[in-house]
Amino acid sequence: QVQLVESGGGLVQAGGSLRLSCTASGSTFSSYTMGWFRQGPGKEREFVASVSRSGSYEAYADSVKDRFTISRDNPKNTIYLQMNTLNPEDMAVYYCAADRRLGPDTVSTSLKQYEFWGQGTQVTVSS
């Protein structure tokens, strides 16, 4: 089992940038496919980005492609989400998620696939 803790959220002006971090503990981090999801006010939780165990493969939601970048540092048990050119539609609670059942070079956009979740970090974008 793995415990996930997100950090790096906050208030940013439209057009600005933030970098989120998610640090894992309790298990072999490199055995997990990792993902970022978000849930905006009054909305369902949605996929943002995913990265394979080694970091070689990535996937993004169309709404964030070319603006957000997911990465991971396995020795540090951490994944990151670099978010650029933020707009008010990006305002949400961002959640980190982990799954150990997927293959080594696999990513997943499915919320139901992920076994473990963090508590979330709030991102607020002012216009």
Percent of the chain with pLDDT over 70: 100
- How far apart are the C-alpha atoms of 109 and 103, rounded to whole Å? 14
Tell me which residue has tokens 């951490």.
78
pLDDT digits (tens, 9 = 90+) for 47-104: 999 999 999 999 999 999 999 999 999 999 999 999 999 999 999 999 999 999 999 9
Per DSSP, 64 falls in state T
Nearest to 88 by CA among 55, 47, 41, 54: 41
